[in-house]
Amino acid sequence: MKFEDYRISDEIKKSLSKLGFKKPTDIQFKAIPPIMKGEDVLAIAQTGTGKTAAFAIPVLDRLQFSKNRKRGDGIKCVVMVPTRELALQITTVFNEIGRGTRVQTFCVYGGVEQGPQIAKLEDGIDILVATPGRLFDLVSQGHIHLHRVETLILDEADHMLDLGFIHDIRQLITKLPRQRQTLFFSATINEKIKELAYSLVNKPVRIQISPKDPVAKNVDHSVMFVEMDDKRFFLERVVKQNADKKILAFVRTKVRAERVVAAMERVGIEAISIHGGKEQKDRIDVMRKFKSGEVKLLIATDVSARGIDIPQVEYVVNYDLPEQPENYVHRVGRTGRGTEKGIAVSFCAPEEKPILDEIQKYLTKDIKVMEVEKEDYEATLDFSAAAKYDWKALIKEAEETDEKIKAAKAKKAKSKAKKKK
C-alpha cells in the first residue's frame, strides 16, 4: 500500500511525495489506521523506523478537516517529549508534512526566554510540542490552556519517566479533558511505562510490538575490547580511516565529552560536543554544524541518543558503554535510519564488562565481537599522532631509565668492591 492510496488530504500527500515518503514503514502501516479512527495506541518500534510520521500524518489530517477547528478556541493536540532537540525535530516534521494545510505547529522548551514563546502562543496554534518542565511552567502561569485538547502524545515516554518527569506528566493530565485520544510512542518499553499507559487511557490500548531484535537490521553493530586509557587512540583511528563520514561518539558524562573533544583536537581532528551543560543556543549551533557536515565528529552524552534524527550519520561509536541497557538501542539507532545502512562499534574496557553483560541480556543475544590482534592493537597506539605525548609511554620510559640507572650504579658499586679486594 502506498501513501497515495490512504484517505488523507491531497496537501499531505503532496508533502509526503516531496519528502520522498512513498510507502509507509511497518510502524506507520500499523499505527496510522487506529489513530485515524480515534483509538488509543501504545506503539513500540525500533528507532529510525518513522514513528514521528506515524502519529503526525493522521493527527494533521484530522485537524485539517476538524469541524471544531478554531485556533482561538485552544490547542487541539499536545506532544510531550523529553528533550529540547527532540521537540525542535518533531516540530519540523509536523511543519514539513503539514505544509499546504492550515494547521499550525509550535514548540516550547526550557533553557531560553519564555517571552517569545508566550507571544506565539497568544497568536493561537493547533499543535503544541513541548518538554514537560516548560509546558508545566506555562500552564501554571496561565499562558497555556489545555481544556480543548483532543489528542495527547507522549514520545519517548520511558525516557521522560527516567528523567523524573512523572510528577509533571500526572499533574498536566489532570488539566486535560477526560475524553481524549492518548498515544504512546517509544523504541523501548518497561513495566513502569505500561502501568502509566494503562492508567491514562479511556479505551483499550492497541500495542504494536517490534521485532525480537530491538536493533534495526540496517545497523551492523559490534564490540571491541579496549583498555579505558586507549579508547582515544581507537577513536582517532576510526575517524581518520573514515574521514568522509559523519561519526557520532557517545560518552557517559559532559566532563568526559569535553575531554574527548580536547584529545581529538590534540591530534588534529575537529570535534564538537553536545550535552546538558551547554546553553540552548550553543546546542542548536552544534546540531547545525553536525547536520550540515561542517564538522564530522560529534561527541555526545545520552541527551542526543533519544529520537534525534540526524541525516547521514554513517558511524556510531560507543566510546563509553551506556549504564542503561536500553540506551544502547537508542544510541546505535542514530545510524542505519530508514533504508540507509549504518555501522556501530562499542569500546568495552575490562571494568565495563558487567555493563556489556547487561546490554546483551537486554538484547537477548550476544553482540558480535570485533577481534583485535595484539600487533594491530599496538599499531593503533603507534599510529596515533599523540603517541609521542602518551603519558603512559613517558612513564614507562622514565621507569626503564630509572632501572637502567640503578643497574649501572649497582654494576659500578660491584666493580669498586672488586677493586678494593
Do 37 and 171 sit in the same domain of this protein? Answer: yes
Residues 184 and 330 in one domain: no
Residue 279 — very low, low, confident or very high, per pLDDT cuts 50/70/90?
confident
Can you list the positions of beta strands (E) in 312-410? 313-318, 342-348, 368-369
Q: Are residues 37 and 15 in the same domain?
A: yes
141-148: list long-range contacts, CB under 8 Å, 24+ apart.
143/114, 143/118, 144/75, 144/108, 145/74, 145/75, 146/74, 146/75, 146/78, 146/172, 146/175, 146/176, 146/177, 147/74, 147/175, 147/177, 148/68, 148/73, 148/74, 148/75, 148/76, 148/177
Q: Are residues 194 and 96 in the same domain?
A: yes
Query: Does the residue 395 lie in any domain?
Result: no
Structural domain includes residue 410: no
Q: Report residue 79: phi and psi, to 5°.
A: -115, 115
Q: Report the 10 Å Cβ neighbour count for 115.
A: 8
Asked which of 208, 233, 262 is the last residue of a domain, the reply is: 208
- Count of domains forming the chain: 2
User: Phi-psi region for residue 159, left (φ > 0), alpha (ψ -120 to 50) or beta?
Assistant: alpha
Task: Please give the pLDDT value at position 385.
Answer: 63
Q: Which residue has cell 543556543?
A: 281
R_g (Cα) of the chain, nearest Å: 26
Q: Are residues 147 and 224 in the same domain?
A: no
Same domain, 150 and 271: no
- CA dist 246 and 227 (Å) reads 25
Q: Are residues 204 and 271 in the same domain?
A: no
CA distance 108 to 91: 10
For residue 137, what is its C-alpha cell? 511552567
3-state SS class at 90: helix
Structural domain that includes position 247: 219-389
Give the mean pLDDT of 50-72.
81
pLDDT at 202: 67
How far apart CA 235 and CA 231 sit, in angstroms, is 6
Classify residue 413: in a domain, yes or no.
Answer: no
Q: Is there a domain that residue 416 lies in?
A: no
pLDDT band at 26 (very low <50, low <70, confident <90, very high): confident
The span from the CA of 337 to the CA of 326, in Å, is: 17
CB 335 within 8 A of CB 217: no
Tell me the C-alpha distance between 159 and 387, whole Å.
40
Inside any domain, residue 399? no
Higher pLDDT, 368 or 25: 368
CA distance 272 to 260: 10
Domain boundary among 178, 208, 238: 208
pLDDT for the residue numbered 312: 84
Compute the average pLDDT of residues 349-358: 96
Confidence of residue 1 (pLDDT cuts 50, 70, 90): confident
Higher local confidence (pLDDT), 205 or 63: 63
Single out the residue of 394, 392, 381, 387 nearest to residue 234, CA to CA. Answer: 381
At 107 the pLDDT is: 95
Q: What is the CATH number of the domain that holds 256?
A: 3.40.50.300
Give the residue, 54 or 392, on which the prediction is more confident: 54
Note the pLDDT tens digit of each residue in 136-170. 899 989 999 898 999 999 888 777 776 677 777 88
Give the residue with greater pLDDT, 156 vs 229.
229
Q: Residue 412: pLDDT band by 50, 70, 90 thresholds?
A: low
Pick the more confident residue, 398 or 327. 327
Q: Is the pLDDT of residue 344 over 90?
A: yes
pLDDT category at 382 given cuts 50, 70, 90 is confident
Q: Express each pLDDT in 65-92 by its tens digit.
A: 775 555 556 899 999 998 888 899 899 9
**pTM for the whole thing?**
0.68
Q: pLDDT digit string (tens) for 176-218?
A: 998 899 998 876 667 777 777 777 776 656 766 555 667 778 8
DSSP element (H, E) containing 326: helix 325-332
**pLDDT surpassing 60 at residue 307:** no
238 and 168 inside one domain: no
The answer to whether residue 396 sits within a structural domain is: no
Residue 158 lies in a domain: yes
Give 238-267 pLDDT, tens digit per residue: 999 999 999 999 999 989 999 999 999 999
- Same domain? For 188 and 223 the reply is no
Other Cβ atoms less than 10 A from the Cβ of 212: the count is 8
First to last CA, the chain: 102
Q: Kindly state whether residue 300 falls inside one of the protein's structural domains.
A: yes
Question: Which distant-in-sequence residues (6+ apart) come within 8 Å of 342 by Cβ?
Answer: 218, 219, 220, 313, 314, 315, 316, 332, 334, 335, 336
Q: Where a domain ends, among 186, 208, 230?
A: 208
pLDDT of residue 394: 47
Q: Which residue bears the cell 518499553?
A: 189
Same-domain status, 261 and 370: yes
Q: Are residues 163 and 226 in the same domain?
A: no
pLDDT at 123 over 50: yes
- Higher-pLDDT residue of 270, 72: 270
Asked if 334 and 373 sit in the same domain, the reply is yes
